[in-house]
Amino acid sequence: MPYFNGRTGSGRRGGTVTVIDEPVRRSHARTAKMVAHVVCIVVGLLSASVLSSYLHPILALFVGLLIGVVAAGIAASLILAWPVLRAIWWWAAEIITISALVLSWVVLAEHTTLPVRLAVVALIGGVAALVPPIRRYIVAVAWCVIIRHRIRTCFSEFIITNRTGSLPLIMWVRPTPAGVRAWIWLRPGLALSDIEGHLDQIAVGCWCASATAELASETNAAHIRLDIKRRDALTATVSSPLVDMVPPVPAGIGRDALPVPSALDLPDVAAADVSPIRPARRDTRTSPAVPAVPVPDNTAGDDITDWI
């Protein structure tokens, strides 16, 4: 849905701001027309069939046709408004945050004076900035919002889309110890291999160190999980609770200092304490002696030792 502001009063020519891309708008318009015709016919006939049991058949036909037209209008309106609803979903965090701040300020303005309102704002802002857990949580949520927009920019700039140009749906984003994790629903025309081939570019586009992608569902290849890693969580110092479980040793009690031997003290060993090692005796009752093999006399005759 392009908007052209024409020539301004100062003589400078204005530009074109595109809210909804033209291919996306045409595609949704065609889909809305087709769905409207199908819903009108199906709902109208079904409604007329049901109403014919209570009304005259001709009157039931007209009432059913009216119901079908209303249902077709609702379905077509939802399809036509889907690009706008998707844009609202993209900016849902900002819209909710700004609405909450404005509503809170209006409620305070109705019940308090300006100094009190400023004091409340300063107190809330000071607590959020000075308390480390709250500050880290706010920063993590802010990075989730930023990474969500950066992922959408990456898909729009260098990752291929389908023929109509619709972008994947970024369903949910949450912080992790290493960065941000996003769940994405891919449109027809994209696959996990396409995302894996652009991980380096996604890391650059999301201002992070690295990015990994994997399937989030074992039964649906369109549901993927994208991890944006801004830091290495394994290098951080992790406090272990096992140290607190060891009972402390009192300051006045210490271990007995025992001498550590550095060498054998042989003079302290008496000769009577040493038993000589004797060879084991062979039991002739269980192991009979092996008879000696006679050595043949080779002085007379041929040498037959090679034949024995």
Q: What is the CATH number of the domain that holds 162?
A: 3.30.980.40
Residue 197 in any domain: the answer is yes
| pLDDT level of residue 10 (50, 70, 90 thresholds) | very low
Provide the token pair at 3: 């908007």
Q: What was the pLDDT predicted at 175?
A: 93
Residue of 231, 234, 199 lying closest to 214 (CA atoms): 199
This prediction has a pTM of: 0.61
Domain count, the chain: 3
- The Cα–Cα gap between 118 and 301 comes to 131
3-state secondary structure of 212: strand
For the stretch 234-289, pLDDT in tens is 776 767 777 777 777 665 555 555 565 666 666 666 666 666 666 666 555 555 55
Residue type, 244: D
Q: Which of 197, 232, 267 is the last residue of a domain?
A: 232
The verdict on 75 and 60 lying in the same domain is yes
- The Cα–Cα gap between 214 and 223 comes to 9
* Under 8 Å between Cβ of 122 and 155: no
Q: Mean pLDDT over all residues of the chain?
A: 80
The verdict on 95 and 83 lying in the same domain is no
Q: What's the whole-number mean pLDDT along residues 199-215?
A: 93
Q: 122 burial class (0-12, 13-18, 19+ CB within 10 angstroms)?
A: exposed
Q: What was the pLDDT predicted at 137?
A: 92
| pLDDT level of residue 85 (50, 70, 90 thresholds) | confident
The residue behind tokens 């065609």 is 30
Higher local confidence (pLDDT), 260 or 36 = 36
- Alpha-carbon 68 to chain mean position: 43
Q: What was the pLDDT predicted at 13?
A: 45
Q: Which of 175, 202, 232 is the last residue of a domain?
A: 232
Is 90 exceeded by the pLDDT of residue 139?
A: yes
Backbone CA torsion sign across 69, 71, 77, 83: negative
Tell me the pairing of strands 2-4 and 16-18.
antiparallel
For the stretch 96-131, pLDDT in tens is 999 999 999 999 888 888 889 899 989 998 988 899
- The Cα–Cα gap between 17 and 2 comes to 6
The verdict on 98 and 149 lying in the same domain is no
Residue 111 in any domain: the answer is yes
Q: Which of 217, 232, 247 is the last residue of a domain?
A: 232
The verdict on 117 and 187 lying in the same domain is no
The verdict on 84 and 96 lying in the same domain is no
What angle do the packed helices 132-157 and 57-90 form, to 10 degrees?
110
Residue-range definition of the domain harbouring residue 27: 22-88
